Each structure stands twice: as C-alpha cells, then as structure tokens.
Amino acid sequence: MINDDTLTLYYYNDGLTDGERKQVESALRNDTALAARYDALCRQMSEWSDPEVPTAPPHLVGRWHDSIDRAARSENAAPAIKKHGPFQFFSFAWGGAIAATLVLGVALGMFFSGNDVIPTPDGTPVEVIQSALVPSSFTRGLQVHLRESQWELASLPADASTDSTQLLMQIIEQNRMFERAAKQNNTPNVARLLRAFEPILMRLANEDIAPEDAEALRAQLAFELNVMLTKLASDPSKEAHTT
Amino acid sequence: MVAVLKSLDSPTQAEFHEVIAARADRWYAACLRITRNPDLAEDAVQDALLSAWNKRHQFERSARLDTWIHRIAVNAALMLIRKAKPATWEPLESEVPDDTPTPDVIHAIEALNTDLAEALNQLTDIERVCFVLKHLEQWRLKEIAQELDTTVGTIKQALFRAVKKLRVSMADLRSQ
C-alpha cells in the first residue's frame, strides 16, 4: 500500500531509492484510485509552487545598495594605507584618519551638527537638531556599546581566526540592536552612522582578509569609534530645538 | 597572476547594484518566509550581500550572481533564525505550534499576501523551514539535513507533516 508520504517523495523526485520509484510507477499504472490521489497531490503542490513575491520596502533596498558602496569604499581605503613600507604605522594612521573622514564624515556631520531641514505641513522649512533628541539613557547605552566594541577590537588577535570572526559577528549583532533602538528613538542619523560601521566590521570578519588589511581596518574603526565617543561625551542631550 | 585574473573576473560593484535592483524582492521574500521576522529577513539579505561582496573572487562566472546571492541569503536566514530561537531546532519531532505571532510577524506575513503565506503560519518552525527549502527553494533533502544539522529521516517527517497540514489548511482557506 503506497501512502501519501511516499507519493510526496515521488513528486519531489527525492528521498526514494530507484527500486522504490519503480514500485510507485508501476502502482500508478495499475491502480486508478492511487493515480487519482497522486493527481490531486500534484495539482495542490503545483498551486503552491509560484507564490506571489512581495516588494521589499524601498528603504531596505536603498540600504542594501548603500552597503555595497560602503564595502567597496572601505576596501579601497585599506590597500591605499599599506603602500608605505617602513613608515607603515604612521602612514596607516594617517590613511585611517583620511578614510574615516571620507566614509563617515558626512554622516557624523549630519548627526552632530544635526540640522536637518524638514518641511512642516504648511511647507515652512524647520530645522530640527537631531542630536538633542537622543534620550540620555540611550546615549549612555550607546557609549557603553562603543567603548566595549573599541576594547574588543583592540584585543582581537592579529590573524583572522574563527574566534575573532565570532566576536566580530557579536559586535555586528549588538550594533544592529543599537541601530534599531536609534530608529525607535527617532534618531535616524545615529542609526545611519551605526549602519556605516557594518560593512567595515563584516570585511574584518572575513577569514580571507590579509593581516595588513585587517590591521588597517581595525585602525580605521578605532579612529571612528573614538570620534563618535568624543562627540557623544561633549554633546550631552538637551531639549529639542526648532527654529 | 591567476589571482589577478580571477579578481578581474569578479562581479563588479555595478553588477551587484544591478542584481539588487532586479532580485532583492525575491531574496527578501525567501528570507521572510524562513524567518517570519522582517528585521531578521533584512539582516539576512544584508549579511548575504556583504558576504558575497567579500567573497566575490570565489564566484564562478558559469553561475548566476543573483542565484549565488539568493543561496547565501537563505543560509544567512537559517543561521539567524537558529541563533534567535535555538530551542526550536532541538525537538525536531515536536508538534508544538509556534508562539502567537507578534504584530511585526503578522505584518510581514500579510506582506507575502497569499493563502500559502497564511497556511505556512500554521506550521512549526521546523516544518515551515523544511517545506520552504524543499518546495520553494528546491533543495535536496540531504542538503537540508546537512544545513540543519540533522538526519534525512527527520527532515522527511517534518516535510510530511508540513504537506499534510498545508493540504488541510489550504482546502479550508479555499472553502471560506
């Protein structure tokens, strides 16, 4: 007696031995009731085969495009840093500073000078100081996360290993939690800034990365985390301002 | 020299943008079906893109870039769901249904906008994942078992339960 489970595997052409397949084929030829049951199964299964594909939210698609651009930028920044042989440390420190300025300068500027012009319902532009909208508890949590990330990155082994990859993936996950919290706190610029770290962290987590590239990326991240922490410390949250 | 030639043959930034524009909806839908969580689906696609970008020199030109990223995205979604709910993957034979869906999940499932999406909601995580990977993603049973770190027999049982439940719930939905 051939049951529906066997017919399901026969439909998928997977999970049955040649002998079992032949047995089903023969039974389908000789047993009209079984053949009818199989037809019904096939009809239902094929109805499920091409479900409607929803459109991904446009802001997510935009973010995915951005992540490729950022990954490409961080990659281009790293090789430029390692060309200076004997003065490698000083040159990559300079390179790190320049790369950091290029990659995150715009985002930092938007966040900390923070003047986004938004239209009011009557069309009058209003400047909102975004940084002033960051709740202090969120800022404190963010500072702890950034400090811990800084410490963890500094203590990463020089060579790429499974342990360091796992640690970096944890930092990425925490970063995403803060990014979501930033979105919920109506601070999209902070979220954007945190998102900007991700391609660099992901590249660092790649086990194929050359040690000198990893070193350059760590320097870049250390610099950026420092800038963000300094600014957070000197830019305490106050009230929201509109002009 | 080989490495240089290989890197010259890697997919370009423009090609990545092209496939994102053309196929991101499909990657997102696949990840949403697996995770039932818009945040995890978003992260899975993001992880897949960055991982594909970092490993683009390994991409074989005989394959399709969008299919390659799709597969990486599905793997990333599986990894994220296992991290988010590790207990789900232990009692694979369990018939315990999922937790009540959160508003986020309901919204995500509504976005899929099909009877099938609604019916998939009635399955346990393991049943849903096995069905999605087998039926929609067309993975071999062996591959699913390897990816979920279990046996082919366990995957078959989860798949059978999924198909049975779906046949009943789809028939109910049609008759409403």
The ipTM of this complex is 0.81
* β pairing state of A125-129 and A115-119: antiparallel
Say if residue B130 is in the same domain as residue B62: no
Phi, psi (rounded to 5 degrees) for A70: -65, -40
Quick one: B7 and B78 in the same domain? yes
Cα A90 to Cα A187, A220, A226, B22, distances in angstroms: 35, 13, 17, 44
Q: Do A60 and B28 touch (CB under 8 A)?
A: yes
Domain count, chain B: 2
Do both B83 and B135 map to the same domain?
no
- pLDDT < 70: residue spans in chain A: 77-135, 158-161, 235-243
Strands (E), B3-81: none
Q: Where residue B136 sits, what CATH number does that domain have?
A: 1.10.10.10
Contacts of B114 in chain A (CB under 8 A): 51-52
Say yes or no for a CB contact (<8 Å) between A68 and B20: yes
Question: Does residue B99 lie within any of the structural domains?
Answer: no
* Residue A130 neighbours by CB distance under 10 Å: 20
Do B83 and B139 lie in a common domain? no
Beta bridge partners of A125: A119
- B14 domain residue, yes or no: yes
- Report how far residue A124's alpha carbon sits from residue A140's, in angstroms, rounded to the nearest whole number: 34
Q: Is residue B7 located within the same domain as residue B50?
A: yes
User: What pLDDT score does B118 carry?
Assistant: 82
Instruction: For residue A79, give every residue at least 6 positions away whose Cβ sits within 8 Å of its Cβ, in sequence order, or none.
Output: A213
Chain A, nearest residue to B48 by Cα: A64
A28 touches chain B (CB under 8 A): no
pTM here is 0.66
Q: End-to-end CA distance of chain A, in Å? A: 80
Domain hosting residue B44, numbered range: 1-87
Residue A238's pLDDT is: 41
Does some domain include residue B12? Answer: yes
Q: Is B9 on the interface with A (CB under 8 A)?
A: no
Termini Cα distance of chain B: 65
- Between chains, do A52 and B114 touch, taking CB under 8 Å as contact? yes
Instruction: Mark yes or no for CB contact B117/A4 under 8 Å.
Output: no
Contact check, Cβ <8 Å, B53/A65: no
Same domain for B132 and B80?
no
Token code pair at residue A59? 């802001």
Residues of chain B with pLDDT under 50: 1-2, 4-5, 91-97, 99
Q: What is the pLDDT of residue A134?
A: 56
Q: Residue B32: which of B135, B142, B106, B100 has the closest Cα?
A: B106
User: Residue A173's closest chain B neighbor by CA?
Assistant: B43
Output the pLDDT for position B15. 96
By C-alpha distance, which of A37, A82, A102 is closest to A216?
A82
| CA atoms of B92 and B105, how far apart (whole Å) | 22
B71, B142: one domain:
no
| pLDDT value at residue A165 | 79
Backbone φ, ψ for residue A116 (5° rounding): -90, 135
Q: Do A44 and B167 touch (CB under 8 A)?
A: yes
pLDDT value at residue A209: 78
A221: exposed, middle or buried (Cβ count in 10 Å: 0-12, 13-18, 19+): buried
B160 neighbourhood in chain A, CB within 8 Å: 4-5, 8
Q: Is residue A18 a contact partner of residue A4, using CB atoms and an 8 Å limit?
A: no
Domain-located, residue B149: yes
Residue A3 at interface with chain B, using a CB cutoff of 8 Å? no
3-state SS of chain B: helix, strand, coil percent to 5?
75, 0, 25
Q: Does a structural domain hold residue B101?
A: no
Q: For chains A and B, what is the number of CB pairs under 8 angstroms?
A: 106
pLDDT of residue B66: 96
Instruction: Name the residue facing B20 among A8, A45, A64 (closest C-beta).
Output: A64
pLDDT for the residue numbered B104? 57
Beta strands in A120-166, from DSSP E residues, in sequence order: 125-129
3-class DSSP state for residue A238? coil
Chain B residue with minimum CA distance to A71: B50
Distance CA A16, CA A6 (A): 8
To the nearest whole angstrom, how far is the Cα of A220 from the nearest Cα of chain B?
18
At residue A235, the 3 state secondary structure works out as coil
**Residue B83 included in any domain:** yes
